[in-house]
A and B are shown apart, each in its own frame.
Chain A
């Protein structure tokens, strides 16, 4: 049963299994374990980034395809929902149309980019994606009549998903039974399903072909697999899932803007999450996204506290000052890549083998 849900991909490491279960429980009960606007917001972000990073891993870790357009696909989904909500009014139909429209557009765009550039060398595809992503980002900020430009769009989502909607009067464990809670569980459920879906895809016959192509594309072709077709298919699927993650993000934030969903910064975050977690493992996406989003949200505060604690000592308060959090994040990356070149998940699984 469990094996079927996980598509036969057991964690194969006790520590990894414990980590994954802990993350699942924390996310599943986040509003109750960590009440508070900020912590629930962090939990939702983790859910969404797990899906986004996993979809990137499908392309990079399994397909061996380097793309810099992943935030663009993410953004297409987000803007899809935003535009649908703006023009169709607040309804679930708008959410559905926006998500599916965004995902379809992302898949079509990925198909076109892939068809033109996946035949040739990998570096060319990477460059093309970079160019297209930049072009789309500029386009979105310029077409302010439609997209709101740099300011982005604010819009209304169905009332049932907003704090104003109360479906029960009493509180459970001190948590208000309102639409925000429903919204969180919508995000959580969709993310979980999307993640399990991708786990299934990488362990399907199709996923095996992707692995074969990553290992040795020359031989994959000579045993009868049209490498280009498989690469294009993987890119399209990855793009569509990224767009769905973007749609979830838009539903959660009730706002889209170039900075949150299209910027190069988000792209770099995704890359770091994949590398830290472990490429080609899927579970790496879970670990990478969780650690990264937590660090992004809490490292600053933690350091502020640490800085106060060592007040009076020389240099230390300066080094630990909350303003230096990016420095320490950078140090953490370098250390993690140095000590875990195969990512945290890769490292944990290696430990098991020997």
Chain B
């Protein structure tokens, strides 16, 4: 039986008079992949920012395993188990692929203040980093500088950083954005693999309906910053609110 990991209670943020996220109360369970959908500007990324701490909330709370993290910094939340991959690729461009991942492993190991040993001498950090590099199929590019990677490989690395962090809550923000048709499956397979970890919860902001159909255990729909629907994929997709707010637009496109 899956247990709740992450809980937001009346989570709200206002920018001036505009309510970007409006009293969202939602619980995310272990072993569950929740797709968050909604039209552009519905507040999906802002909701993510509130959970991972990039922006402070105006109201409401976020709790991880019943521990209130609403007032904690981004770095503190990361150490407690909130991991976030970004919509726009957000890496360390002039460091190598391996170094990008090694930095994550080093952060987890809490060894950032080690000043007097050589970074390359920590095999117990380099080895797991290399394993992640291999897992995301970037082994050939391990020593390459990130800025020289193709867009698709940068997206893979973005996901790889999160895999290296191995948080309790994985947050993906359009992980396949801008990837070609033959590159996207690699990333999606990686996310599908994560679903086997029964003690983790995965949150996925995604526009592509086929991706949601194959991966999601549950869908929540945001509309104008508020929670508009919540349930298993079949029910939510069939519901009026989705047909109107989201699918309607999608069907027109097809």
Contacts and interface: CB of A to CB of B under 8 A. Distances in A.
A218 interface: yes
A330 interface: no
Given A223-B161, A226-B73, A208 B119 contact: yes
Contact of B113 (A219, A224, A233): A233
B113 A206 contact: yes
Given A211-B95, A225-B112, A230-B112, A205 B119 contact: yes
Interface string A274-305: 00000000000000000000000000000000
A337 interface: no
Contacts of B102: 208
Interface stretch (B103-111, B184-192, B207-215): B103-111
B222 interface: no
Interface string A192-220: 00000000110111111101100110111
A219 B79 CA distance: 14
A215 B94 CA distance: 7
A4 B120 CA distance: 11
Nearest to A3: B118
Contact of A205 (B75, B106, B108): B106
A203 B92 contact: no
Contacts of B91: 216, 219
Interface of B: 52, 54, 73-76, 78-79, 84, 86, 90-95, 99, 102-104, 106-108, 111-120, 122, 125, 161, 165
B209 to A, nearest CB: 29
A212 B103 contact: yes
A194 B124 CA distance: 29
A8 B73 contact: no
A283 B79 CA distance: 36
A219 B92 contact: yes
A222 B92 contact: no
A7 interface: yes
Contacts of B99: 208
Interface residues of A, number: 29
A216 B90 contact: yes
Interface centre among A205, A206, A216 (most CB of B within 10 A): A205
Nearest to A280: B94
A223 B120 contact: no
Contacts of B114: 204-206
A205 B90 contact: no
Given A208-B99, A219-B90, A219-B92, A226 B75 contact: yes
A323 interface: no
Contacts of B76: 226
Given A206-B112, A226-B73, A211 B92 contact: yes
A205 B161 contact: no
Contact of A215 (B92, B116, B119): B92
A318 interface: no
Given A209-B103, A209-B112, A221-B75, A203 B119 contact: yes
A224 B107 contact: yes
Interface in A153-211: 200-201, 203-209, 211
Given A200-B118, A205-B117, A209-B103, A225 B92 contact: no
19 contacts: A4-B118, A203-B118, A205-B119, A205-B125, A207-B119, A208-B106, A209-B103, A211-B92, A211-B95, A215-B95, A216-B92, A220-B92, A221-B73, A222-B78, A222-B90, A223-B78, A223-B165, A224-B75, A224-B78
Interface centre among A200, A204, A224, A227 (most CB of B within 10 A): A224
B118 A218 contact: no
Interface in A120-161: none
Given A205-B115, A222-B54, 16 more contacts: A7-B118, A200-B116, A201-B115, A204-B114, A205-B111, A205-B112, A205-B125, A212-B95, A212-B103, A216-B92, A218-B90, A222-B84, A223-B107, A224-B75, A225-B112, A237-B115
A203 B102 CA distance: 14
Nearest to A200: B116
Nearest to B146: A215
Given A211-B92, A215-B93, A222 B52 contact: yes
A204 B120 CA distance: 8
A218 B90 CA distance: 9
A188 B117 CA distance: 24
Contacts of A208: 95, 99, 102-103, 106, 119
A204 B52 CA distance: 29
Nearest to B107: A224
A22 B188 CA distance: 55
Contacts of B119: 203-205, 207-208
